[in-house]
Amino acid sequence: MGSSEMCRDLAGEVEKLLKTSNSYLRKKAALCAVHVIRKVPELMEMFLPATKNLLSEKNHGVLHTSVVLLTEMCERSPDMLLHFRKLVPQLVRILKNLIMSGYSPEHDVSGISDPFLQVRILRLLRILGRSDDDSSEAMNDILAQVATNTETSKNVGNAILYETVLTIMDIKSESGLRVLAINILGRFLLNNDKNIRYVALTSLLKTVQTDHNAVQRHRSTIVDCLKDLDVSIKRRAMELSFALVNGNNIRGMMKELLYFLDSCDPEFKADCASGVFLAAEKYAPSKRWHIDTIMRVLTTAGSYVRDDSVPNLIQLITNSVEMHAYTVQRLYKALLDDISQQPLVQVSSWCIGEYGDLLVSGQCEEEEPIQVTEDEVLDVLEGLLVSNLSTPVTRGYSLTAIMKLSTRFSSVNRIKKVVSIYGSSIDVELQQRAVEYNALFKKYDHMRPALLERMPIMEKTASNGPTEIVQTNGETEPSVPDTKHPPLVTQPANQVRERSRSHDISVLTIAGRFSVTDDNGLKIEFTFERANPNIAVITIHATNTTEADMTDHDLTKYMCGSMIDFCSNTFQLQLLSPSSNIVPALNQGSVTQVIRVLNPQKQQLRMRVKLTYTHKGSPVQDLAEVNNFPPQSWQ
């Protein structure tokens, strides 16, 4: 209960009592010194002289508390740690006497002499031997003796063995000793006590990276723990099982983990599915096996998988050109069996839209092709559009797949009817897609085959991580993330609009002017005039307040409209060329560009602005949505 002030005042008295002849007082003084050090660490050196003789004590209580005091000092001060490393041989002798001595009724627990002191010494040895070759070598033999001579039939012996294992794994021990420690943990996995099994799995999980092969020898026992009734043990066993997966055992381990995924509680399914995806991507022996494995996950735990599983599988399928016919046939069969797993339905819809011609033609060489007609395929996709199991996103995939099939199937009239029906859907996103697709049929039919052709192979580089998939207006496109600036558009446009104000862009509106400024000093000012009641002329002026020019051709590209996107189909734009592709430093010039907006319905103007440029050698990206245009620009 003593405060830090009390500890300062009484530390000297405590230090004197450490030298008293009364062993009971010495024990209490050592415990009090531990408290003083915790409260006022700078008083630690005061107790250094008194600790020199503590380990020569015969009294169990004094020796025990002395080890506790030394441990506290070593943990709190690197200097003390160096100083006390010379005590390792003395600690080794004490521990050896404890394990070699016979029955000692005073401190015996289940036939083991003074197990509490043994555990304390093992912890202190662990601290002293960490990152020190000489100290580690001095304690290797005694650790081996404790590991091989300790009785394991009682819990007290297992406690000592567990502490021994932790010490062996934490110091610079010999390889044979580390294998012995892992074998002890392997025996723990067979123990009836679930607490012992849990600590064994936790310890193996910590050591699997450094002693992978030794842990692999206990793989079958670890996998058996997946069937344990205890939730904590199952979770640790699952984590350890994934850590053991490599190129040699991928097939067997995935078989066990997929079986676990089928039968496990819902709380495990999301993590297990993610683990299977990562392991399959890293160690898949073939593309067919990889696709089959991911499809197995989607069919058994599809509603639990992460959001990025759909685009990642789409990318995998797209890049496996030789597997397109096999994949679309497998996915079509999966749709016939179950449409409740939405990620599976989305991937299936995408693939049928891309490779529906391969499905109907029966080109599958991997297995016996099925006989499917165009109408049967369209029946399935239309069924998804009306199913109450389908989410809005799934319906978007289905409608896009039907539209894609207008260039692969001969049933174009049927597809036109479906598209026209959903032009009045209460789902705004689905309605927008249907209206756009309907416009393709009516106004731009000559462009439709080119717009709906198959997706190209999606590039994926190790340096940038997985390719991200961008889905906009039903079309899926690859987008490789920038390692310095994450992509700003990786989801449907309506979702981008909802979050676009989170970026560091300030907006200012004054009368007939409107400006957007990012935090790097790029300012874009909009001025307005009316050429006639239906046309607004917007002039963009980009200036740069920093000391370095802002370059990169993409700046002018984005300013001229590819990322200045009016959020309504009622507007028509005419974009003129920008005056330059460099924004000079220190406001010494500006880049201008003119946009003419035809707005006959007098709709309020809204636009998304993406600022992309290179500044001081680094690419910069910011995104903002502009909703508060001055009324005179559109009324």
pLDDT in tens, 374-393: 889 899 999 999 998 888 99
Give the pLDDT confidence score for residue 217 in this predicted structure.
Answer: 87
327-356, pLDDT tens digit by residue? 888 888 888 888 888 888 999 999 999 988
What one-character-per-residue DSSP string does 224-240 give? HGGG-S-HHHHHHHHHH
Helices (H), 405-475: 412-421, 428-442, 448-451
Amino acid at 240: L
Query: What pLDDT is attached to residue 485?
Result: 33
CA–CA distance, 50 with 28 (Å, rounded to integer): 14
Summarize the confidence of residues 306-321 as an average pLDDT: 82
Task: For residue 589, give both structure tokens.
Answer: 């010039």
**Cα angle, residue 296 at apex, residues 455 and 257 outer, rounded to 5°:** 130
Burial of 456 (0-12, 13-18, 19+ CB in 10 A): exposed
CATH superfamily of 507-633: Gamma-adaptin ear (GAE) domain (2.60.40.1230)
Give the pLDDT score at 365: 65
Paired tokens of 127? 């601290």
Q: At a CB cut-off of 8 Å and minimum separation 6, what does 64 contact?
A: 27, 116, 117, 120
Determine the Cα–Cα distance for residues 25 and 27; give it in Å rounded to an integer.
5
Provide the mean pLDDT of the chain.
79
Residues 111-150: tens digit of each pLDDT: 778 888 889 999 999 999 888 888 888 888 888 888 887 7
pLDDT computed for residue 350 by the predictor: 92
Residue 195 has pLDDT above 50, yes or no: yes
pLDDT tens digit sequence for 224-275? 888 888 899 999 999 999 998 988 899 999 999 999 988 888 888 888 888 8
89: exposed, middle or buried (Cβ count in 10 Å: 0-12, 13-18, 19+): exposed
User: Which pLDDT belongs to residue 553?
Assistant: 35
pLDDT at 175: 82
Quote the Cα angle for 267-242-221, to 5°.
95
CA atoms within 13 Å, Cβ hemisphere of 543:
9
pLDDT-wise least confident of 311-325, 376-390, 608-622: 608-622
At 45 the pLDDT is 86
Structural tokens at position 599: 């707005």
pLDDT digits (tens, 9 = 90+) for 524-579: 777 777 667 777 778 888 888 888 888 763 433 333 333 334 444 456 766 677 77
Q: Confirm if 403 and 452 have CB atoms less than 8 A apart.
A: yes
DSSP string of 465-524? BSPEEEEETTEEEEEPPPSSS--S--S-HHHHHHHGGGSSEEEEEETTEEEEEETTSEEE
Residue 377 · residue 329 · CB < 8 Å: no
Domain limits of the chain?
245-304, 333-451, 507-633
Residue 372 pLDDT greater than 80, yes or no = yes
Residue 374: which of 414, 419, 346 has the closest Cα? 414
The pLDDT tens digits of the residues spanning 397-421 come to 999 999 999 988 888 899 999 989 9
Residues 6 or more apart in contact with residue 127 via CB below 8 angstroms: 71, 74, 75, 81
73-103, pLDDT tens digit by residue?
998 888 888 888 888 888 888 888 888 775 5
Whether residue 47 contacts residue 15, with contact meaning beta carbons closer than 8 Å, is answered with: yes
Residue 503 has a pLDDT of 36
The predicted model gives 314-324 an average pLDDT of 85
**pLDDT, mean of residues 514-523:** 71
Q: Residue 625's pLDDT is what?
A: 66
